[in-house]
């Protein structure tokens, strides 16, 4: 642990300080007065769990003095991205969100990338899954090539027969037709459909005269997709064309992406404290491209504005439009007035307050892939960074009670050891049987938590003291407990399905020459399913130590060759 003497030896000057454990950097910060900022860390360890963890792990302290706060900010960001300290919020958002890239080739294709690349980029997307879903949609609609680099073939690959590629490698599409498909894909991604729709209508007329009805059907699907997008823009009618909006509401920070006057994506983050919002913005734009406009409902320090301006052309503004703010608030999520909620807790449950509630559920896929989930509701918000999944180890057949007992015992050990924050209550998805299991684990592990259960059919909250509360008669409680129960169920179910998909992938890999146990594990960790493996860049496969030839072997197996 850092001693007070170590901190008092730090200079009272502007710069960056670096806190290390015995082998790694664990936290990096900047300060106008390094010593005073370190003393704040030292004092806050008595009341703040994160500060306590930093101070208890710390073994070494270093600092670098800078001429001003802007230099300190720039150095802090670069050092965080270099060392990736586990306690820095900026690092968590500085890896870059997924982007869709249209390459600069003769026959351009689509890639999911992170960071800046050669070509036209669209995004960011707040999950890799969403970016890949849009990529698959574009391949299905516009049939851009899926191989990269483009080979020379005599016969098209499986993707052509699946309707995902137009096979330019075999000369099945002219350069002019392919360029129209690329411009159509760009129109869908950018939201500007007016320039390409007339061309598509001319193309469908030409193909109908030539009796190429299959081509007509393809173009018709593209027109429908683009026209639906245009209709969606009119419905959304957001009073700004393109911007990234950061909206602060207490410890919540919402990130909203507006493109072509439409809200295209959002993410709501629960911060450990309100001061972290600047770190999130810096991390967000370390790898992601800057928008035309950056709008916030809070002021940014001059050094942050300067750092952003040096990365590209961007205009800054504060949120003034009342209509736009109402749209943002509606999209901040399922949150409740905490004062009203605490009154409900006291009057209906007989407790002063519940700051943290953990929700649990178990699930399986037709009797296989038994899993459990733990979701965390914290002071009005779902804290997704503290969600945990569990693969059931001790139960070999479907037994909800035994599976739940294992999950709760494993969670209880983490809570008792201090690795996870102790909650005020557990909420179990189920009835009296599940409630009894949870009470048994709680008592045996001596946990200071209340236990509740909520079954889907009756929507009655079961309390460990025997009280039954019909939640539909108490909307505020129903909103909270129903949200936690549903989220635990969704999280467990999605994990079970994902394991099933991975098992199917592994089954195919058993028949592929050159895929041993090590390569199977690498593929398993990096690709959700076979489609992701088949469309992966050869360079990415090589970096993972996998020969691109394996893709061809998988295709041959699936095609029955």
What integer is the mean pLDDT of 52-69? Answer: 91
What integer is the mean pLDDT of 344-351? Answer: 90
Structure confidence at residue 374 (pLDDT): 95
CB proximity list for 450: less than 8 A, separation 6 or greater: 351, 354, 424, 425, 426, 463, 464
299 has pLDDT over 80: yes
Burial profile 255-283: b = 16 or more Cβ within 10 angstroms, e = fewer: bbbbbbbbbbbbbbbbbeeeebbbbbbbb
What integer is the mean pLDDT of 118-142? Answer: 83
Where do the structural domains in the chain lie, given as residue ranges? 4-87, 98-236, 242-330, 338-498, 510-559
Angle at which helix 213-236 crosses helix 175-190, to 10 degrees, equals: 20
From the list 367, 386, 366, the residue with the least C-alpha distance to 376 is 386
What integer is the mean pLDDT of 490-511? Answer: 68
- Contact between 185 and 138 under an 8 Å Cβ cutoff? The reply is yes
DSSP 377-439: EETTEE-GGG-EEEE--S--S--HHHHHHHHHHHHHHHHHHTSSPPPSEEEEESSHHHHHHHH
Q: What's the mean per-residue pLDDT of the chain?
A: 84
Structure confidence at residue 305 (pLDDT): 94
406 has pLDDT over 50: yes
Instruction: Name the CATH code of domain 242-330 (choices 3.30.420, 1.10.10, 1.10.3470, 3.10.20).
Output: 3.30.420
Least-confidence region, from 88-92, 218-222, 368-372: 88-92
- Contact between 293 and 218 under an 8 Å Cβ cutoff? The reply is no
Percent of the chain whose pLDDT exceeds 70: 89
From the list 467, 446, 443, 471, the residue with the least C-alpha distance to 457 is 471
Structure confidence at residue 233 (pLDDT): 44
Establish whether domains 242-330 and 338-498 are of one fold.
Answer: yes
What integer is the mean pLDDT of 310-331? Answer: 86
Range 338-498 classified under CATH 3.30.420.340: yes
CB proximity list for 491: less than 8 A, separation 6 or greater: 361, 373, 375, 387, 389
Higher pLDDT, 205 or 449: 449
Kindly report the CATH number that applies to the domain delimited by 4-87: 3.40.1440.10
What integer is the mean pLDDT of 288-309? Answer: 91
What integer is the mean pLDDT of 106-115? Answer: 87
119 has pLDDT over 90: no
From the list 366, 358, 360, the residue with the least C-alpha distance to 496 is 366
106 has pLDDT over 60: yes
Higher pLDDT, 194 or 21: 21
What integer is the mean pLDDT of 449-462? Answer: 90
Query: Measured in whole angstroms, how far is the alpha carbon of residue 307 from the centre of its chain?
Result: 25
280 has pLDDT over 80: yes
Least-confidence region, from 133-137, 194-198, 403-407, 556-560: 556-560
Structure confidence at residue 557 (pLDDT): 66
């Amino acid at each position: 642990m850092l001693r007070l003497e170590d901190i008092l030896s730090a200079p009272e000057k502007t710069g960056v300080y670096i806190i290390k454990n015995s082998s790694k950097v664990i936290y990096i910060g900047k300060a106008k007065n390094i010593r005073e900022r370190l003393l704040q860390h030292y004092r806050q360890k008595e009341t703040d769990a994160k500060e306590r963890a930093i101070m208890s792990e710390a073994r070494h302290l270093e600092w670098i003095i800078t001429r001003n706060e802007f230099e300190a900010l720039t150095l802090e960001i670069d050092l965080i991205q270099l060392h990736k300290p586990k306690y820095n919020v900026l690092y968590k958002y500085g890896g870059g969100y997924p982007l869709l890239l249209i390459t600069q080739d003769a026959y351009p294709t689509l890639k999911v990338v992170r960071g800046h690349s050669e070509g036209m980029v669209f995004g960011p997307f707040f999950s890799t899954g969403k970016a890949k879903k849009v990529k698959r949609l574009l391949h299905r609609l516009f049939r851009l090539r899926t191989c990269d680099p483009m080979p020379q073939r005599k016969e098209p690959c499986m993707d052509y027969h699946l309707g995902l590629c137009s096979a330019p490698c075999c000369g099945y599409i002219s350069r002019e037709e392919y360029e129209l498909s690329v411009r159509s894909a760009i129109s869908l991604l950018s939201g500007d459909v007016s320039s390409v729709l007339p061309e598509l209508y001319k193309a469908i007329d030409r193909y109908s005269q030539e009796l190429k009805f299959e081509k007509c059907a393809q173009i018709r699907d593209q027109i429908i997709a683009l026209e639906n997008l245009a209709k969606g823009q009119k419905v959304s009618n957001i009073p700004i064309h393109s911007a990234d909006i950061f909206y602060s509401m207490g410890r919540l920070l919402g990130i909203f992406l507006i493109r072509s006057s439409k809200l295209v994506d959002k993410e709501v983050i629960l911060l450990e404290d309100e001061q972290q919002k600047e770190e999130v913005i810096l991390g967000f734009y370390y790898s992601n491209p800057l928008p035309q406009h950056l709008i916030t409902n809070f002021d940014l320090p001059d050094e942050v504005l300067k750092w952003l301006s040096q990365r590209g052309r961007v205009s800054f503004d504060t949120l003034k439009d009342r209509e736009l703010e109402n749209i943002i608030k509606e999209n901040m999520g399922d949150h409740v007035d905490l004062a009203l909620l605490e009154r409900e807790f006291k009057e209906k449950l007989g407790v002063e307050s519940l700051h943290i509630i953990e929700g649990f559920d178990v699930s399986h896929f037709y009797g296989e892939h038994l899993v459990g989930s733990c979701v965390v509701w914290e002071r009005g918000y779902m804290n997704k960074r503290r969600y945990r999944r569990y693969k059931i180890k001790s139960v070999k057949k479907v037994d909800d009670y035994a599976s739940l007992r294992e999950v709760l015992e494993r969670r209880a050990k983490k809570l008792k050891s201090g690795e996870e924050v102790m909650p005020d209550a557990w909420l179990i998805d189920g009835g009296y049987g599940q409630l009894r299991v949870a009470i048994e684990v709680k008592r045996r592990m001596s946990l200071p938590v209340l236990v509740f259960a909520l079954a889907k059919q009756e929507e009655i909250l079961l309390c460990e003291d025997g009280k039954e509360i019909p939640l539909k008669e108490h909307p505020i409680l129903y909103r909270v407990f129903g949200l936690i129960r549903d989220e635990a169920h969704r999280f467990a179910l999605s994990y079970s399905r994902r394991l099933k998909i991975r098992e199917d992938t592994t089954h195919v890999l058993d028949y592929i020459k050159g895929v041993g146990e090590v390569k199977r594990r690498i593929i398993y960790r990096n690709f959700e399913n076979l489609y992701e493996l088949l469309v992966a860049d050869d360079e990415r496969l090589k970096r993972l130590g996998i020969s691109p030839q394996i893709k061809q072997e998988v295709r041959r197996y699936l095609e029955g060759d």
